[in-house]
Amino acid sequence: MRFMTTPDNAAETPAEAPDDTAPAATGVAAQDWDTASADPHYRAAVVDLLGALAYGELAAFERLAEDAKLAPTLSDKAELAKMASAEFHHFERLRDRLAAVGAEPTQAMEPFVAALDGFHKQTAPSDWLEGLVKAYVGDSIASDFYREVAARLDSDTRGLVLAVLDDTGHAGFAIEKVRAAIDADPRVGGRLALWARRLMGEALSQSQRVVADRDALSTMLVGGVADGFDLAEVGRMFSRITEAHTKRMAALGLAA
């Protein structure tokens, strides 16, 4: 997934917009990094999170560069190249942050390489349109997950995570191209809908497996380190992610 990455801040996913009515942050979410990182378990969870994000951004850069080879026009190639460059800059910010907090970036990323590479191998697109849907739908699922976690992070880490999840432009680009393709040949819609459903299943499975394999991350999610998460909330979190996926499918003109 960015575990994938190209987040979507488009209007069709209002859950991602800032909530001015949200209660004031408490606990870890109200602390800065220097204060929160005094807890070694919290620090380990954040290093894991940043490591996963960093490798996801690096993989997204590589994938977008590969997708550019499938682009039908020079203009499309240039757009994807610009997005790939933005993903690499996100990776650099995460790498530098890991180093700044005393973690070795390569070591922090290493635990997530097999899972993320496995996901991308299992979901390799067969054409240009499948690549667009994968980046938009698949990456956005991961972005939703990270945004959910970010709400429970210290203020410094939260700001960084949200910054690297900024939309690189892929959302609007994918919607425009996929809708145009479906208008030109409605049969394309059925094939891409099946593909998107497969991506959804693979993405959620990979997310759950990676979290389960990393004690610090799983502890964060169920409330042992960060604020507000319990097992029931984890279930609600994945329900919200599923609902956002349905909205993205509609934006693409596809059936969920």
**Residue 11 CA neighbour count, 13 Å, CB half:** 0
pLDDT at 67: 87
pLDDT at 202: 86
Residues 6+ apart with CB under 8 A from 168: 6, 7, 82, 83, 86, 87
How far the first Cα of the chain sits from its last, in Å, is 19
Contact 54, 108 (CB under 8 A): yes
pLDDT at 256: 63
Quickly tell me which residue has 């390799």 as its tokens: 124
| pTM to 2 decimal places | 0.82
Cα torsion 172, 173, 179, 183 to 10°: value is: 140
pLDDT at 91: 96
Q: What is the pLDDT along the chain (256 residues), one digit of tens a residue?
A: 454 344 444 434 434 444 444 455 668 888 999 999 999 989 999 999 999 999 999 998 998 888 888 899 999 999 989 888 999 999 999 999 999 999 999 999 999 998 888 888 888 888 999 999 988 888 888 888 888 888 889 999 999 999 999 877 788 899 999 999 999 999 999 999 999 999 888 887 877 777 777 777 777 766 555 455 566 777 788 888 888 888 989 999 887 6
pLDDT at 118: 86
